[in-house]
Chains A and B, each alone.
Chain A
């Protein structure tokens, strides 16, 4: 595997996770529990879609076959997507969304902190830029984890269940393969075990503050690295890709 091939795949991992989470967050548009949260979640959706655009465009430039960000977003099947299993989990109730976003945002926060000093200029610039945005996402979701966890009996029970149920999708975030080996050697990527240690610390800090139990590590799903997904991604893509597939090359 060449450095370029590895880097293209790495961009898709980051870009696809941003895109899918952005799509999930946009599903909250007009469905938020209160107006302020509706606005917050759609703002977060917009940030993620913006981050996805940068990474998918860069993947296309590296590949050199003329594929655009739209080609990547709308013309790939689920088995060509490298997003995290966590990002494609359905929104569920507000607490489910909060738990998922918190775990994913904490990951992005530490990933982008590390990648800000990547030897690849574009990755470094993207990471430094996105770090500012995901800092707000992390803070937003962490505050809700605490508010719900340290809230009423019902809210506490609900969000604890959200964490318990989604926990088995977190192991997938930290898996590595040859792509990582190649890029770590070049100083482009970061070893995921380093991210895991920082992620653990942030997650623990917030769960303690929220008076919630950290779920026990048991069986963990895996799939991201091989583009293997849960049934939910296909449904998400069917909705997201409907228009460009039904009306190819339609213009606004």
Chain B
């Protein structure tokens, strides 16, 4: 192996999320570990949601990226613990999300209190920055997003919900 772990991590850190291309799989927190063995490289990832259809694309992109850097033998390991959380998302990633038109997850951890607490108090509209917004549905265009609409500019928008 001609590469160090850090170099391989760098290759992988640049892979964009297939559905939200402004953030990378590293910023999202899906990329967990890289291990170099004599005969192969093991890349450990964790799913955002158990049924996330993007996971297969993550795997394909990781293998493609390493192949294009001459690393042929790649194994993908999926881990479930610790469970993925939006807390792992960096501030930089959150900024990029908002610029892209998706309201980033508000503050730490899950929206606890399991009944009748519909999301965080204020979600800011990524278009006009108004906090006068309304939750329309806990389930948006993908499992990780909720649907909001802005009462100020009247635009609907996706909110990356806390989990």
Q: Interface on A for B, CB 8 Å cutoff?
A: 22, 36-37, 39-40, 43-44, 46-51, 53-54, 109, 121-122, 124-126, 128-130, 132-133, 135-136, 138-140, 142-143, 146, 202, 205-206, 209
Say if the beta carbon of B102 comes within 8 Å of chain A: no
Complex CA gap A130/B115 in Å reads 16
Of B13-21, B46-54, B62-70, which stretch is located at the interface? B46-54
Complex CA gap A138/B114 in Å reads 8
Whether A142 contacts B50 in the complex (CB less than 8 A), given A43-B139, A54-B80, comes out as no
Chain B residues 79-127 with CB under 8 Å of chain A are 79-85, 110, 114-118
Say if the beta carbon of B29 comes within 8 Å of chain A: no
Residues of chain B lying within 8 A (CB to CB) of residue A142? 115-116
Q: Which listed residue (B83, B116, B140, B143) contacts A129, Cβ 8 A?
A: B83
Residues of chain A lying within 8 A (CB to CB) of residue B114? 109, 135, 138-139
Q: Which listed residue (B49, B52, B115, B147) contacts A138, Cβ 8 A?
A: B115
Complex CA gap A129/B51 in Å reads 11
Q: Interface on B for A, CB 8 Å cutoff?
A: 47, 49-53, 79-85, 110, 114-118, 136-143, 147, 161, 163
Residues of chain A lying within 8 A (CB to CB) of residue B82? 128
The binding surface of chain A is classed by DSSP as helix
By the criterion CB–CB under 8 Å, are B139 and A40 in contact?
yes
Whether A39 contacts B81 in the complex (CB less than 8 A), given A50-B50, A50-B51, A129-B50, comes out as no
Residues of chain A lying within 8 A (CB to CB) of residue B138? 40, 136, 139-140
By the criterion CB–CB under 8 Å, are A39 and B83 in contact?
no
What's the nearest-Cβ distance from chain B to residue A182, in Å? 24
7 new A-B contacts, CB < 8 A, other than A128-B81, A132-B110, A132-B163, are A39-B141, A43-B142, A46-B143, A47-B49, A135-B110, A143-B118, A202-B115
